[in-house]
Amino acid sequence: MNRREFLRKQLILTTGILSGTALLKAAGFHSSQTAVQDTEGRIMTVRGPVAPESLGIMLPHEHVFSQFGGGLVEDPEYGREVLSGRVAPYLRYIQALGCTAVADCTAAYFGRAPELLQHLSEQTGLHLITNTGYYGAAGDDYVPEHAYSESVRDLAQRWIREWEQGIGQTGIRPGFMKIGVDPGPLSDIDAKLIRAAAITHLHTGLTIAVHTGGSPEAAMDELAILREEGVHPSAWIWVHAHNVQEVDALSEAAGMGAWIEFDGLSADSLERHLVLVKAMRERGHLDRVLLSHDGNSFPGRGQAPRHYDVLFTTFMDLLASEGCSEQEIRQMTQENPGEAFTVGVREIS
């Protein structure tokens, strides 16, 4: 079975069809006006909770749009017509390649806009997932002032409120936490963000995706804080783990149960990503691997878009040619992200 046949088979199995509106109905979307019940064990999209098995092939780390590189902004302005004209066609393009879900990692204060994500989801039929939390990487440029003065629990309560009541006045609920930290050892504010995220997880069951990059020291500091708060490593995603040079550090975190995200896929990174996947496979940790691009279909400050199609156009075929089975590819592209983003409290027993 070639890649296109495989992708088409998975689309049919998970959604039953390929068209936008019908795809939404087949996937079990709920109206955003409907009270959310029984979210435990489900995935929260911008249009409501869905069953993990209906998610299909998911990209766990992309940016549908952002204003990263600009100043801190709470309420970003985008032209809906521009996004519909530029972003929606790109989303339809990756959908045609086989993608059925995207976790949008544009965090608060650099371009998060849940209502526009909901609009695009309605237009295209893709599952889109937004986030809560604060981004402390990039030298803390996107950490709001109140995060420094408020207590850890005050911060956590802000994020819990978004889960319980929706983001702002939108009624749209986040499906995960997006946190960012600079290289370790963790600064005081970065450690504060991680601790607030741990408390939020215990109240909401939302997964904690942390921009950690190539710093095993930061990763171990984060895991230590989670352990202190009673949160299991399986609630945590090591974002940008492809930047780590020591595979042993990745294997150690995966052995604890953490998710290891190789999200820098591009035409130039294929060899490096293949080495990483094979290394995790050899160590028996393929069940902890997530694959994505960190692409951006509408970046800020006049930057060129970063594509997020290489997984479908090239990398899956490359994995197959290197001996990965259809089940192993399905595991990394469907089963792992489905499990990682499922709402559920993961405590240390």
Radius of gyration of the chain (CA): 19
Domains and CATH numbers, the chain: 3-340 (3.20.20.140)
Which range has the worst mean pLDDT, 76-80, 151-155, 274-278? 76-80
Pairing of strands 48-50, 43-45: antiparallel
Q: If phi over 0 gives left and psi between -120 and 50 gives alpha, with beta otherwise, what is residue 27?
A: alpha
- Reported as a pLDDT band with limits 50, 70 and 90, residue 2 is low
Q: What is the pLDDT of residue 38?
A: 65
pLDDT at 5 over 80: no
Interatomic CA distance for residues 340 and 207, integer angstroms:
7
| 3-state secondary structure labels for all residues of the chain | CCHHHHHHHHHHHHHCCCCHHHHHHHCCCCCCCCCCCCCCCCEEECCEEECHHHCCCEEEEEECCCCCCCCCECCCCCCHHHHHHHHHHHHHHHHHHCCCEEEECCCCCECCCHHHHHHHHHHHCCEEECEECCECCHHHCECCCHHHHCCHHHHHHHHHHHHHHCCCCCCCCCCEEEEECCCCCCCHHHHHHHHHHHHHHHHHCCCEEEECCCCHHHHHHHHHHHHHHCECHHHEEEECHHHCCCHHHHHHHHHHCCEEEECCCCCCCHHHHHHHHHHHHHCCCHHHEEECCCCECCCCCCCCCECCCHHHHHHHHHHHHCCCCHHHHHHHHHHHHHHHCCCCCCECC
Compute the average pLDDT of residues 314-335: 98
Confidence (pTM): 0.90
Mean pLDDT of 318-346: 98
Angstrom distance (rounded) from CA 83 to CA 298: 8
Residue 256's nearest CA partner among 283, 213, 223 is: 223
Confidence of residue 27 (pLDDT cuts 50, 70, 90): very low
pLDDT at residue 24 tops 80: no
